[in-house]
Structure 1
């Protein structure tokens, strides 16, 4: 008899309200990917993403699998308690439980710690036989990315234009002190066979997709070879890259020919002092203008990652960053509040200094809360400045000014900017600095 398996991508209501009106929210690939490992002769799969679905708490399941990130941890713990009270077994995986397995184990029946290519199918086999010999399943060796299954996009509900997410590589060669990739993954950059990536993309019905790689240009030789093959598919895509790598003219030319619309680049700050304070020395503020112009010259837009709250940030950082973004014609930003994620160097530093304000993990979302005491302003000033920046950046005046500088993918950029504008409109009263 088949066992009923529910696989959940969680999203608490606070973050959902923040993201819902944006137009470029591609799916998180973890659960559709892990669903591809499930033997359907043994399990009946239900896949649920809280971004646009309700959790079927009233239905009965034998096993509930939840991927847990830090900002959703408390939400996942409550959800787990409800399912367990109804007799279901709950298995956790994901970044937060990999970082804090002892805490997570108190709220579930089983844990999948770290990368799951081997442990997840092994656990499913044992669970089906009712022969789980342990509660914690951990991958100790570095898993290969050869022979990965195609994600079960057929199980995704109502996300036609944004269900196309793909991985071509895993890991990042850099060691930024606020990032938890090194604690989540093995510290080894790996690539997937190019023909397997191309076949995965070929099966995406939409014309649009995103590479969910941590650093798509982590291996330039590999990226160039992949993009040469990708060109024939005539798709449109985005990827996260390091801005410093965008000095390579051939790399950008191949990206554009292969259908690239925009790069997400972790600019983080317009202060070299701030970048050095978190070990992001790969970024050089003095080169930003040249590199961004080079990306725009090749017809590719820039979605910049910006972080506020570094120890070197003062209250003038918000205006300075806003003016710099307008001057450079940055097409869009994903702006965040610095968040000391568990087990990162920044977390350990702030904990030692007594600067963590709470261990309520819902506060650690980088979007609607401040979880630590900044060095040169109050938590309230950091949040208000962050909100002021978001509103000003997505004002019509700023949108028009930036589009005039960029002149890149104008229709796409206007649509995305409007989506971000709608996501903040009416949420907070306008702050003035």
Structure 2
């Protein structure tokens, strides 16, 4: 009898331990996902009113099984990191100018007992550096490695490093969890349709952070994603929306039915196709972001941007404006051929061509890019403090034909002059595209400056 009682107790204890173990497995873990932004960049960006969200974290959140994880999404653009809360896992996407800031965030959470995983451009460029500041890293594109890591972490068997070994397909991607994005409305609509770029500009790190293959997402899936955006306005977050012209045309024909307004990044030489421009306008396009970079052909050639032909700028830009689409020009100062005259020459050219808006940057030699290696070999890098590599508030290298101060002061002078009332008036008179929208955007930039 006594042996029977003991046996029953042992069986009950075994069942209880099994139930406790199962309950532990079923318990959801808390994950904090951070789009980091240091104070210096945040102060610069907050003055500009048309900043769309960084889509990475809402997109990666779409892969997460919410029966296993409670998700908190924080974007430092307009939110504070909840250091006082406990999280099982903290995920941080790291770009180069925010790397030092991200490492400090990771240190803080690790001291509190949280595990930290990092991914993004800087982690992919310098994985060994990043690994010394966190528990896990995800290198390269994450469509296959991120879900695998999440499953392994949930089951307490995560590895330190997850590498992208195969080229991920863009088929079957999840809809970004935009409901997790707070304090945004008009600027939470960002969409991925393609990935990669056919070109190899020496200052660009796309070839180092992505698999070298231009890919497209199934059109029906892109359209479904766009339908998920409540706002009338959105942007394509692609590096080169016209990388495959026939695909772009088919997508935009379907997009016409949604009657939304949008912008996309394209290369100027692809805009010589008037049928493409007409379809884009009918589909709701109001803006192209175009990487003009420079009005010096010698400067463009020096950074392997020979696809831009300065002699054709006027003809192609007129064609874009004629089709009712505005141009936000990407402009870079500090190329090796630039002299102190470049700032005034660029302003004159922008006014004459009716460039609607400009995103102006200081040349930034990002790690592992050809221009970084060149400047490193020439002893022209000022620092490896990645905070200097933001292209907006600091100069990270020694220019060839001017001092660092002259480059920075010329860059600031151009921004102020470009968004002066005189320049705004001249440019809008030439462009005549989306006048009211352009006026509001230009005045917004003027107030920020």
Q: In which range does the TM-score fall when normalised by the shorter chain? A: over 0.9
Q: How many Å apart are 1:419 and its aligned residue?
A: 2.0
Contact map agreement 1:392 1:398 (CA 8 A) in 2: yes
State the SS of the aligned residue for 2:305.
Answer: coil
Query: Pick from 369, 393, 396: which aligns with 1:368?
Result: 393
State the SS of the aligned residue for 2:373.
Answer: helix
Q: Say yes or no: does 1:113 pair with 2:139.
A: yes
* Number of the residue aligned with 1:429: none
Query: Pick from 59, 66, 70: which aligns with 1:33?
Result: 59
Question: CA-to-partner distance for each residue in 1:40-63, whole Å, 9 max, x for gaps?
Answer: 001000000000000111111000
* Number of the residue aligned with 2:415: 390
Query: Pick from 182, 202, 214: which aligns with 1:157?
Result: 182
Contact map agreement 1:19 1:423 (CA 8 A) in 2: no
* Number of the residue aligned with 1:419: 444
Question: CA-to-partner distance for each residue in 1:123-154, whole Å, 9 max, x for gaps?
Answer: 0101011111x200011110000000000000
- What stretches of structure 2 of length at least 5 have no aligned partner? 1-26
Q: How many Å apart are 1:181 and its aligned residue?
A: 0.1
Query: Pick from 242, 267, 280: which aligns with 2:267?
Result: 242
* Number of the residue aligned with 1:378: 403
Q: Say yes or no: does 1:314 pair with 2:339.
A: yes
Q: TM-score, normalised by structure 1?
A: 0.97
CA distance in 2, matches of 1:130, 1:245: 49
Q: How many Å apart are 1:417 and its aligned residue?
A: 1.1
Contact map agreement 1:198 1:229 (CA 8 A) in 2: yes
Query: Pick from 328, 335, 338: which aligns with 1:303?
Result: 328
* Number of the residue aligned with 2:116: 90
* Number of the residue aligned with 2:12: none
Query: Pick from 36, 44, 50: which aligns with 1:18?
Result: 44
* Number of the residue aligned with 2:291: 266
Aligned residues: 423
* Number of the residue aligned with 2:171: 146
CA radius of gyration, larger in = 2
Contact map agreement 1:216 1:241 (CA 8 A) in 2: yes
Please give the root-mean-square deviation of Cα atoms over the aligned residues, in Å.
0.5
**1:130-145, aligned counterparts within 5 Å?**
130-132=156-158, 134-145=159-170
Q: How many Å apart are 1:209 and its aligned residue?
A: 0.2
Query: Pick from 77, 98, 103: which aligns with 1:72?
Result: 98
**1:139-288, aligned counterparts within 5 Å?**
139-288=164-313
State the SS of the aligned residue for 1:307.
Answer: strand
Contact map agreement 1:23 1:415 (CA 8 A) in 2: no
CA distance in 1, matches of 2:58, 2:409: 37
CA distance in 2, matches of 1:258, 1:397: 33
Q: How many Å apart are 1:375 and its aligned residue?
A: 0.4
State the SS of the aligned residue for 1:4.
Answer: strand
State the SS of the aligned residue for 1:343.
Answer: coil
CA distance in 2, matches of 1:160, 1:119: 31
- Higher helix fraction (1 or 2): 2
Query: Pick from 357, 360, 367: which aligns with 1:342?
Result: 367
Q: TM-score, normalised by structure 2?
A: 0.94
CA distance in 2, matches of 1:329, 1:115: 38
State the SS of the aligned residue for 2:328.
Answer: strand
CA distance in 2, matches of 1:402, 1:240: 21
CA distance in 2, matches of 1:86, 1:417: 45
State the SS of the aligned residue for 1:264.
Answer: strand
Q: Say yes or no: does 1:52 pair with 2:78.
A: yes
Q: How many Å apart are 1:108 and its aligned residue?
A: 0.4
Q: How many Å apart are 1:414 and its aligned residue?
A: 1.3
